[in-house]
Chains A and B, each alone.
Chain A
Amino acid sequence: MRMIVDHISYTYKENKKPTIQDVSFEIKEKEILTIIGQTGSGKSTLIQQMNGLLRPDTGTIYYHGKDVFDKDYHLRDLRSKVGLVFQYPEYQLFESDVFSDVCFGPKNQGMSKKQAELKAFAALRMVGVPEELFYVSPFELSGGQKRRVAIAGVLAMEPEILILDEPAAGLDPQGRKELLSMLVKLKEEKNMSIVLVSHSMDDVAEYAERVMVLRDGKIAYLDTPKNVFSHKEELEAMGLSVPQITHLMYSVRAAGGMVDVNCHTIAEAKEAILKLYGRG
């Protein structure tokens, strides 16, 4: 158990209604947890609590058993272990070249120049930025490349938990696929825990071990994708949906094919359809 979020609630000063209400969950080692929910359901607010940018009004968060909002706990230590990649992170780039920008995080952690550069190099490699781009201005890069550089800026700090807020928004299909497989690789090779805010049910079904569904700041479901996506009607009532392939299975069922509709990945659907034809 890396992080335990314990009954937190949060209300923005300028709102009356609480944005987060009594939310509890934990983040395990080496897992991908995705958070889904309608716009305004509190996803971005929730993840900002997880690295101490916003302090919950009630409840607390434990990181490796320590209360992170304790007076003698340094939030900067937490932030270097719990990396947060904001939505459209390319807006945070500021240095004159890509490489120095990625060095910013490790240097703030107190690493020497040499160490920081090694980390930056590894991180840029990891996200697939080619070496000839290391010394150009980040503002000359394409949108997708900027996004990678910004993610590298957080990865270079070598967090244990990596939280990403809709990292695939605005990327082309190829870029999106590369990004997601990079996340899987980080989990497998570096034992990271990944928290992913996503709007793509297909991605969630394919990559997540657990899914959290937020509705008006409360957890509606927190379970495996299979169990969560079996609540098709409830999800649709919340303005969410199920993966494309699940819709397909419902259509097959409606057309008279007696398949199991509870299939959420292409592999599962293939099995089910082959079984229908007796070749399973």
Chain B
Amino acid sequence: MLRDITLGQYYQTNSLLHRLDPRVKIMGTLVYIISLFLFRNLFVYLVVLGCLVSMIKLSKVPFSFMVRGLQPVMMILFLTVICNLLFTKGTVVYSVWLITITREGIELAFYMTVRFIMLIIGSTLMTLTTTPTQLTDGLESVLSPLNKIKVPVHEVAMMMSIALRFIPILMEEADKIMKAQLSRGADFETGNIFHRVKGMLPILVPLFISAFKRADDLAMAMDARCYRGGEGRSKMRPLIYKNVDRRAYMVMIIYLIIIVAVGVFV
């Protein structure tokens, strides 16, 4: 039931993208996101799309996996499209009763949709090809300059990795609790909104209790192994750039140049 969410999940295979250094992938995703928002130009999007498709091919992750990641956000996307269509002012192309649709509205809705979908697929691609541990190691390393201005980077990274680690566990738990309450005749589907919110309590209360208990246990286990934050802590597998990673950075720079060139001249 709740297992369909792919955002923040890892897909195990052996591809070039899987082997890249996480820092490269984080920077790459950042470059990709910037390129999405730099220009509002159809040709730029074609280049971006081409890159995205080749990255998906390179990653060896089945395309259906990415689409599954899109499903939960479809509703939000749909709402933004509707709002953009209905409430953007400009040249009217179609008008019925209270509804007016403008040229600018259509354009805005189109670009919103394209950006949104490509944004989600691009970032899903990163989490699908990077294990949570690698991801947080990479983030910690990329963000480490912030240590200078007293941002607790290690602690934030640790919190993130714990959160990511617990998503599947809590989902499984929610599934189990839900089944247990269904067996006791609980009803989550019928009734008005108040009824339904109240119907969620038999799931939420046990879920929170078990989450707190797990957090307690984990804190205890970390204490028992003398964890005391990031200071002076070394890594079992430090991140080291290889040749592929350097080449990947080159590709990123070339990509940015192409995007800017297309955006400015075409």
B210 within 8 A of A: yes
A108 and B185 contact, CB distance less than 8 A = yes
Contact digits for A55-95, partner B, Cβ 8 Å, 1 yes 0 no: 00000000000000000000010011001101001011110
- Of all chain B residues, the one with the shortest Cβ separation from A89 is B180
Contact digits for B79-114, partner A, Cβ 8 Å, 1 yes 0 no: 000000000000000000000000000000000000
A192 within 8 A of B: no
Complex alpha-carbon distance, A104 and B184, angstroms: 7
B180 and A91 contact, CB distance less than 8 A = yes
Interface stretch (choices B23-31, B44-52, B200-208, B225-233): B200-208
Complex alpha-carbon distance, A139 and B212, angstroms: 13
- Given A14-B3, A108-B187, A92-B206 contact (CB < 8 Å): yes
A104 and B202 contact, CB distance less than 8 A = yes
B20 to chain A, nearest CB (A): 26
Which chain B residues border A104 with CB–CB below 8 Å?
Answer: 184, 186, 202
B179 within 8 A of A: yes
Number of interface residues of B (CB under 8 A): 19
B176 within 8 A of A: yes
Which chain B residues border A91 with CB–CB below 8 Å?
Answer: 173, 176-177, 180, 206, 210
Contact digits for A76-120, partner B, Cβ 8 Å, 1 yes 0 no: 100110011010010111100000000011001100000000000
B176 and A86 contact, CB distance less than 8 A = yes
B15 within 8 A of A: no
B181 within 8 A of A: yes
Complex alpha-carbon distance, A131 and B138, angstroms: 56
Which chain B residues border A53 with CB–CB below 8 Å?
Answer: 179, 182-183
A95 to chain B, nearest CB (A): 8
A86 and B180 contact, CB distance less than 8 A = yes
- Of all chain B residues, the one with the shortest Cβ separation from A14 is B3
Q: Which of B177, B180, B185, B202 contacts A76 (CB under 8 A)?
A: B185
Which chain A residues border B176 with CB–CB below 8 Å?
Answer: 86, 91
A262 within 8 A of B: no
Which chain A residues border B179 with CB–CB below 8 Å?
Answer: 48, 53, 86
Complex alpha-carbon distance, A53 and B182, angstroms: 8
B240 within 8 A of A: no
B184 and A154 contact, CB distance less than 8 A = yes
A197 within 8 A of B: no
Which chain B residues border A213 with CB–CB below 8 Å?
Answer: none
Which chain B residues border A94 with CB–CB below 8 Å?
Answer: 201-202, 205-206
- Of all chain A residues, the one with the shortest Cβ separation from B208 is A94
Complex alpha-carbon distance, A157 and B202, angstroms: 17
B2 within 8 A of A: no
B264 within 8 A of A: no
A105 and B184 contact, CB distance less than 8 A = yes
3 A-B pairs with the lowest CB-CB distances in the bound complex, closest first: A108-B185, A94-B205, A92-B180
In the complex, besides A86-B179, A92-B177, A154-B184, 12 extra interface pairs with C-beta distance below 8 angstroms are A14-B3, A48-B179, A79-B183, A79-B185, A84-B180, A89-B180, A92-B184, A94-B205, A104-B184, A104-B186, A105-B184, A157-B185
Instruction: List 22 A-B pairs, Cβ < 8 Å.
Output: A51-B183, A53-B182, A79-B182, A79-B185, A80-B185, A86-B179, A86-B183, A91-B173, A91-B176, A91-B180, A91-B206, A92-B177, A92-B180, A92-B184, A92-B202, A93-B206, A94-B201, A94-B206, A109-B185, A139-B209, A153-B184, A157-B185
